[in-house]
Amino acid sequence: MTRLSVNINKIATLRNARGGNMPDVCKAALDCERFGAQGITVHPRPDQRHIRYSDVLTIRPLITTEFNIEGNPVPEFRELVNRVKPDQVTLVPDAENVITSNAGWDTVQNREFLSAVCKEFKDNGIRVSIFVNPDPEMVKGAAQCGADRVELYTEAYASRFARGPQAAVEPYLKAALAAKECGLGLNAGHDLNLDNLAFFIRTIPWTDEVSIGHAIICDALYMGLERTIAAYLAEIQKK
């Protein structure tokens, strides 16, 4: 079954807006696990506008499910990941000034660099996922870099879903089939929500994991965190 990893960045954003420790990011991570999430995702950025490097160090020993750290593998990030040793690291090519991740890796042009990073993390016992656009060539490139999984960047799927679910998911199905042929695990994330999640999973049932943050926190404002996580788990399980 597809696993739900909750990205808690937005909880840290709220905390940072006021200062202090409200809401408590560590408590939120533990509550997400208690409410049924099968993983916790964090995405520390150099400007520390949400999850901070110090948060990652504090959260790591508390997590009892899967811990996934996303980010651009700059030297400071690589040092943090090797120190923390999460279950999974997801390599994302985000620039410092972007609001949110907005593209996947070109795994062909960056093969030498990504291969070295994959080897470094895998030698440290960390599963490596590479964030890619829904392009079979980029998926194949990730396999050639030595990745264990790819994470499909689902913004385009989410933005096109209302105009036609089948057309929106078609490029993702092709990329997912390429991942299967290459022996790669498959993750997905970005703008997945209660409207579009079930269709994606029904179409690509071998998806290993979805990472969702912004939509979960938005829904939790009205439904509460426990009910929201239950609702997302129910969507994943729909046939």
Cis-peptide, bond into residue 61, ω within 30° of zero:
no
Is residue 190 part of the annotated active site? The answer reads yes
Question: Which residues 6+ apart lie within 8 Å of 196 measured at CB?
Answer: 157, 158, 161, 165, 168
Active-site residue, 214 included? no
Dist CA 192 CA 27 (whole Å) = 24
Q: Please name the helix (run of DSSP H) or strand (run of DSSP E) that holds residue 169, with its range, or none.
A: helix 165-182
- Per annotation, catalytic residue among 33, 43, 209, 235: 43
Count CB atoms within 10 A of the CB of residue 217.
20
Question: Which one is catalytic: 33, 66, 70, 209?
Answer: 70
Q: Choosing from 66, 190, 209, 235, which is the catalytic residue?
A: 190
| Length, in residues, of the chain | 239
Active site includes 43? yes
Give the Cα separation of 125 and 181 in Å (integer): 24
| Active site amino acids | 43, 70, 190
